[in-house]
Amino acid sequence: MNRKIAWSITAGLLLMSTQVMAEWKTLDKSWHLGPPFSLLGPRPFNDVDPQNGIVINAPFYATKIRVIISERCFSRKQKIPLCCWSIKRAADYVRICDKNGTVYKKLFGKSTREETYEVPSNGIRVQVFSCRNSVPETFPNDHIDIDHFEYFIPDGLVIDEHFPENFFWGAATSAFQVEGNSIGTDWWEWANGSPEHCKGDRIGLATDHYNRYEEDFDIAQKMGLKMFRLGIEWARIEPEKGVFSRDEIEHYRRVLEALKKRGIEPMVTLHHFSQPTWFANQGGFEKEENIEDFLEYVEKITNEFKDLITYYITINEPSTLALGGWTKNGGLPPGKNDLKLASEVYANCFVAHARAYHAIKSIQPQAKVSLAKHMRVIIPNPGYLIDDPTLMTKKITKAAGDFMNEAFLDAILTGNISIILDPLSPTIRNVPELRGALDFFAVNYYTRDRMFFNIVEEGNIFGLNIMYRSEQHEYTPMGHRWEYSPDCIYSLMMRLKKFSEDFNNLPGIDHLLEGIIICENGVGDVNDIGLATETMRPQFIIDHLHFLYMAIQDGADVRGYLHWSLLDNFELAEGYRAQFGLIGVDCRNDAGLTRIWKNSAYLYQQIIKNNGLTNDVIPYVKQ
């Protein structure tokens, strides 16, 4: 055979292997909204929120969707969906939105049960909203069920989304959530305290990562991870104020060496929620003077491990720490309810970060130091009766966004801290060391919040009974109810692109911001231990990476993505009831703590192997 023909055959075969024949695929999920929201048990896939009912997401590469509403949603006499007798027609409830939530098309007319819809262009989110009546307790049958949902993959689809060279593919963990026996920490006491804490779960052995780190790093290596984010447990290193444990320092040296040996770059978090009880008992970050204690520990770690650690995270998610620990029903220790103290904790974490940043850099100038900032995309929610958000809704949206996102960005750019959690008593400070105190931007992204002003529902963030957030709260673990919003990672990256430009033009700051690393992103499936029941995570990963890829294409300097988490672990206020792991570990029931590769773990391995998204990912979305 001559060479030309052989080449054409090979090229043809290669092309065929990357193409998918046009086909409809049904997502193997259940979309029945069922009885009133308050009575719902765990739902395997859908996001359900009190305003927007069911949200079904087709994968980003779908080009058409087909939706069929359940027969029982239609009244025989009227041939119209039952829900429309209340305020709006069914057409208002089942609709397709683009990635910004803008409604493209209200799908259903009065008596339509089935609709097919073309998705205008690749990268547009397709979401089908099925809204309940606003008073489900009164009209329990007044809801829409989706009987069938399909999406279409076109002929010759080629997914070719490669990430930059040397991209840090990785996973993240924190010390007390995986290590086990986190004795001497405030979290250990909290979880062992009232049975109302952590849904009655105790930390116990957790995944026993403290003893099984070699096995876990073997898994990480097999998965292809290039970076691994781990926490050092301060209470182990310094069990009593001023007393450092040589044994524990040696333990973490072995842990870090075990990663290095496998070619995996460690990223070390110095404070990830848990802290020594002696520190917590003296008020922790409530008091600015306590920052000195944190600095002694930070300096100790840097001096001990400067040969092994390059990437440092000083503090994880100050907003979660402050809201979770110091607002009503926050679910995290110390379980106080005091908005002023919450603001102080938030501000003191910024200050502690700045001082830790300079302390680390003075010992190890080449270190790369950041703070893991939880950021959420916060948008106004349209009202029930009118589509436009009200003026108050807009104001609350702005205030929440300032608190959650902008306060930190401003502090780094200007050195000014302005935290307005309690409008009557804002926390305002000028801390010059904060200006420019970042080497790269570490961001944790999970979900977006839709805000709306509501005088009836109880307030959350501001503790004033005037505001209600339609999604779960910062201090509530993601679980299965957090809104699925992969597109928002794009808008977030665009915001951080602008921030990076501002940072890099700061007068008097002699270093540039070295890109962005997503230090956490993941999803808490409930009861998804093992391969059998995992339904959401694979598509979650694919869709988030797709929008991250789009952001990189549009100029965001993203250098890494660390999935939360490598292992199922102790999920804060949810105890062991929400599983975030690529690897399943049944900490409550399996005495052997067997590590189980989930579908998403294999998918992630494949993505890392290809350095991005290719047609190889398609089979991982559960059909």
Amino acid letter for position 291: I
Considering the rule CB under 6 A, would residue 571 count as an interface residue with ligand BGC?
yes
The residue within the footprint of ligand BGC, chosen from 70, 127, 174, 343 (CB under 6 A), is 174
For ligand BGC, the closer of residues 449 and 571 by Cβ is 571
The residue within the footprint of ligand BGC, chosen from 318, 330, 382, 477 (CB under 6 A), is 477
**Residue 546 near residue 486, CB atoms below 8 Å:** yes
The residue within the footprint of ligand BGC, chosen from 142, 161, 317, 543 (CB under 6 A), is 317
Q: How far is the CB of 405 from ligand BGC (least distance, A)?
A: 14
346, exposed or middle or buried, with CB in 10 Å at 0-12, 13-18, 19+?
A: buried
The footprint of ligand BGC on residues 366-405 (CB under 6 A) is 374
Cα 48 to its chain centre, rounded Å, is: 17
Select the span of 25-33, 314-322, 492-500, 533-541 touching ligand BGC (CB under 6 A).
Answer: 314-322
- Long-range pairs, 479-482, Cβ under 8 A, ≥24: 479/524, 479/526, 479/574, 479/577, 479/578, 480/42, 480/43, 480/44, 480/45, 480/47, 480/524, 480/525, 480/526, 480/536, 480/578, 481/47, 481/48, 481/49, 482/47, 482/446, 482/447, 482/523, 482/524
For ligand BGC, the closer of residues 552 and 567 by Cβ is 567
Lookup result for tokens 């090229």: 11
Q: For residues 426 and 419, give the distance between their C-alpha atoms in angstroms, rounded to a whole number.
A: 6
Binding mask 529-568 for ligand BGC (x = CB under 6 A): -----------------------------------x----
Q: For residues 361 and 356, give the distance between their C-alpha atoms in angstroms, rounded to a whole number.
A: 8
- Tell how strand 53-57 and strand 416-419 pair up: unpaired
The Cβ of residue 179 has, within 10 Å, a number of other Cβ atoms equal to 28
The residue within the footprint of ligand BGC, chosen from 46, 133, 182, 316 (CB under 6 A), is 316
Number of residues that bind ligand BGC (CB under 6 A): 14
Q: How far is the CB of 478 from ligand BGC (least distance, A)?
A: 5
269, exposed or middle or buried, with CB in 10 Å at 0-12, 13-18, 19+?
A: buried
Range list of H helices, 331-426: 339-363, 391-401, 407-414
Q: How far is the CB of 481 from ligand BGC (least distance, A)?
A: 12
Q: How far is the CB of 444 from ligand BGC (least distance, A)?
A: 6
Considering the rule CB under 6 A, would residue 179 count as an interface residue with ligand BGC?
no
The residue within the footprint of ligand BGC, chosen from 471, 483, 520, 525 (CB under 6 A), is 520
Q: Which of 204, 159, 297, 38 is nearest to 610 (CA)?
A: 159
Q: How far is the CB of 522 from ligand BGC (least distance, A)?
A: 7
Q: How far is the CB of 177 from ligand BGC (least distance, A)?
A: 6
For ligand BGC, the closer of residues 543 and 571 by Cβ is 571
Q: How far is the CB of 571 from ligand BGC (least distance, A)?
A: 5
For ligand BGC, the closer of residues 453 and 570 by Cβ is 570
Binding mask 40-79 for ligand BGC (x = CB under 6 A): ----------------------------------------
Sign of CA dihedral 232, 233, 237, 238: positive
Q: Which of 433, 225, 401 is nearest to 314 (CA)?
A: 433
Q: How far is the CB of 331 from ligand BGC (least distance, A)?
A: 11
Sign of CA dihedral 405, 406, 407, 408: positive
Strand partners, 419: 427
Select the span of 36-44, 312-320, 350-358, 454-462 touching ligand BGC (CB under 6 A).
Answer: 312-320
Select the span of 182-190, 242-250, 315-323, 448-456 touching ligand BGC (CB under 6 A).
Answer: 315-323
Report the alpha-carbon angle 599-604-605, nearest 5: 100
The residue within the footprint of ligand BGC, chosen from 572, 601, 603, 608 (CB under 6 A), is 572
The residue within the footprint of ligand BGC, chosen from 364, 444, 454, 460 (CB under 6 A), is 444
**Residues interacting with ligand BGC, by CB under 6 A?**
174, 177, 316-317, 320, 374, 444, 477-478, 520, 564, 571-572, 580
